[in-house]
């Protein structure tokens, strides 16, 4: 339905009144100043383009310097921060190292720690425990011996080294272990002086002898298991120990020139036709065989024989009945053997033994002339 004429007049009158009101409001509120007005997008673009410098061949160097100059204000604070980080890191590292070495020093030299951790530390860092005739003795070698001893008695004898009796036993062994590693240092110096060495073949032969005497098979599998069980050693640790023992034996034989000369003299007499049994009775230091012309009590000698050193058995395997060997150096003596008979891998033989002085006896005058300097004090309890 359409509006009446009267309603239409009222609407027109209201519109005129509203428009007049708006004009009154506009005149009452002042206009925004030009400087406060937000520029249009077109004005902003034109202003930005007007500020872009024009780069030419003549002004490129100048603009490049301006750009670099602006970047430098960010670069220098970063360099300063990096320098500070390096200083702080280095200081923390130095503090950590100092703390570590203080801890290690106290553990080793004051408290005489034998822990696995300190043993690993000494394997990496060569802390000394003594100095023997100008040669450093490593703390690691001392712990190597101590831990072998402790492992055996803890696992095989059930000794508690935290108990009073266990601590007493350990304190009794400490000076012995220290003396052993000091003696080993003297031996190494003497070996170098007299050109004595132990080859890898010597060590492998010693391993083979251990396997044969203890019936541990043809490889090192069982031997490694037994070594780990009794001493806590790997097969490489066992090689190390055998090499040290063999070197000491060779040096002892080299130093006892009197016994060596006596053995060589007897061998020369035998080559000249002297009677083997007669010389054995006169000169052999083996009291159990000399009365019998030097003949071994074991009439069926093999590599597993306990009476005959394996190195002697090896010599017998390459001899003919009635033949006399050269002078053979064993662990404790010079030996001259005569093969009496051989049958099915077993041998019957006689020997003349000239025992040489053990290494400890020969080291005593050397240590007296050049006493070692010990860095820890370990004394056996009274």
pLDDT digits (tens, 9 = 90+) for 321-335: 999 999 999 989 999
Mean pLDDT of the chain: 86
pLDDT at 310: 85
What proportion of the chain, given as a percentage, has pLDDT over 70? 79
**How many other CB atoms sit within 10 Å of the CB of residue 362?**
19
Element (H, E) at 340: strand 333-343
**How many other CB atoms sit within 10 Å of the CB of residue 107?**
16
pLDDT band at residue 178, thresholds of 50, 70 and 90? very high
Which range (22-36, 276-290, 292-306, 339-353) has the least confidence? 22-36
Residue 195 carries which DSSP code? Answer: T
Query: Cα dihedral sign for 263, 267, 273, 276?
Result: positive
Higher local confidence (pLDDT), 165 or 86: 165
pLDDT at residue 358 above 60?
A: yes
Nearest to 374 by CA among 110, 131, 113: 131
Locus of tokens 């750009």? 67
- The pTM (predicted TM-score) of the whole model is 0.72
pLDDT at residue 201 above 70?
A: yes
Q: State how far the Cα of 14 lies from the Cα of 12, in Å rounded to an integer.
A: 5
Higher local confidence (pLDDT), 46 or 89: 89
Encoding tokens for residue 218? 């043809």
pLDDT at 218: 84
Name the most confidently modeled range: 149-158, 308-317, 341-350. 149-158
In angstroms, the Cα distances linking 300 to 217, 286, 297, 307 are: 21, 19, 9, 11
Residue 281 CA from chain centroid, whole number: 51
Residue 171 CA from chain centroid, whole number: 26
Q: What angle (nearest 5°) sits at the alpha carbon of residue 180, between those of residues 379 and 145?
A: 90
What proportion of the chain, given as a percentage, has pLDDT over 90? 64
Provide the CB-side half-sphere exposure for 130 (13 A, CA): 26
> What's the average model confidence in pLDDT over 236-250?
95
pLDDT at 205: 87
pLDDT at 19: 55
Query: Cα dihedral sign for 192, 195, 201, 205?
Result: negative
pLDDT at 23: 55
pLDDT band at residue 148, thresholds of 50, 70 and 90? very high
Q: Which long-range contacts (CB under 8 A, 24 or more apart) does 271-275 make?
A: 271/324
């Amino acid at each position: 339905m359409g509006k009446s004429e009267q309603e239409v007049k009222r609407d027109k009158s209201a519109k005129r009144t509203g428009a007049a009101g708006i004009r009154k409001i506009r005149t009452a509120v002042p206009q925004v100043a030009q400087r406060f007005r937000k520029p249009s997008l077109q004005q902003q673009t034109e202003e930005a383009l007007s500020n872009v410098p024009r780069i030419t061949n003549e002004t490129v160097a100048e603009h490049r310097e301006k750009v670099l100059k602006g970047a430098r204000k960010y670069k220098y604070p970063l360099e300063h921060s990096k320098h500070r980080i390096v200083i702080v890191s280095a200081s923390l590292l130095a503090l950590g190292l100092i703390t570590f070495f203080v801890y290690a020093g106290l553990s080793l030299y004051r408290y005489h720690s034998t822990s696995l951790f300190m043993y690993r530390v000494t394997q990496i860092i060569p802390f000394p425990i003594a100095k023997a005739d100008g040669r450093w003795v490593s703390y690691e070698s001392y712990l190597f011996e101590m831990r072998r001893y402790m492992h055996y008695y803890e696992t095989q004898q059930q000794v508690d080294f935290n108990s009073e009796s266990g601590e007493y036993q350990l304190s009794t062994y400490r000076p012995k272990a220290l003396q052993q590693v000091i003696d080993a240092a003297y031996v190494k110096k003497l070996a170098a002086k007299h050109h004595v060495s132990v080859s890898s073949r010597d060590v492998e032969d010693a391993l083979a002898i251990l396997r044969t005497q203890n019936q541990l098979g043809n490889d090192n599998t069982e031997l490694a298991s037994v070594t780990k069980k009794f001493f806590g050693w790997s097969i490489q640790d066992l090689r190390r120990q055998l090499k040290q023992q063999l070197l000491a034996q060779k040096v002892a034989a080299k130093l006892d020139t009197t016994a060596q000369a006596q053995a060589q003299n007897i061998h020369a007499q035998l080559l000249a036709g002297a009677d083997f049994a007669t010389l054995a009775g006169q000169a052999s230091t083996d009291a159990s065989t000399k009365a019998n012309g030097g003949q071994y009590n074991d009439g069926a000698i093999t590599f597993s024989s306990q009476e005959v050193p394996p190195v002697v058995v090896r010599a017998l395997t390459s001899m003919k009945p009635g033949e006399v060997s050269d002078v053979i150096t064993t662990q404790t003596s010079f030996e001259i053997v005569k093969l009496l008979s051989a049958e099915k891998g077993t041998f019957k033989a006689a020997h003349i033994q000239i025992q040489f002085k053990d290494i400890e006896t020969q080291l005593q005058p050397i240590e007296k002339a050049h006493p070692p300097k010990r860095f820890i004090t370990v004394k056996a309890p009274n």
